Amino acid sequence: MDKIQRAWDLARKVHKDQKRFDKTPYITHPEGVVEILKEMGVTDENTIITAILHDTIEDGESWVTDTIFKDFGKEIGYLVKLLSLKPGQSYDNYVVGIQADKRALVIKIADSLHNVTDKPTNNMKMKYRKSLAKSIGVLLKEGK
């Protein structure tokens, strides 16, 4: 079985009982993020796998982190951890951490784009819009 299929299998296992705010299965979120990345022209396998798994550490149990590092390697494990908001971590601190890797920033942008276009409430729209603006702002600063 290829790595991308194994990533989907793990994501489905972790998110199996979760629902989105609109009651759809949670797995539709990483599917949407991957679709947006592909529309952006992202084809790198490790970036796609990271996008599939991007919420698994936050939403899963303690075994998930070890499984990701063991099954997918240090690079993907590092990126998924980077994209995981730690308990008690401020969102601003989280965004600063993501700046360590442009792939994480691009995934975060795709994540925010999916969230803002996936029928959220008005409060959620504002949260995701701010997230998107911060992530793009970081990329623009790096481009100077």
The catalytic residue positions are 58-59
In terms of Cβ atoms closer than 10 Å to its own Cβ (0-12, 13-18, 19+), residue 7 is buried
∠105-108-110 over CA atoms, to 5°?
Answer: 115
**Is residue 48 within 8 Å of residue 126, measured between CB atoms?**
no
Ramachandran quadrant class, 87 (left: phi over 0; alpha: psi -120 to 50; beta: rest): beta
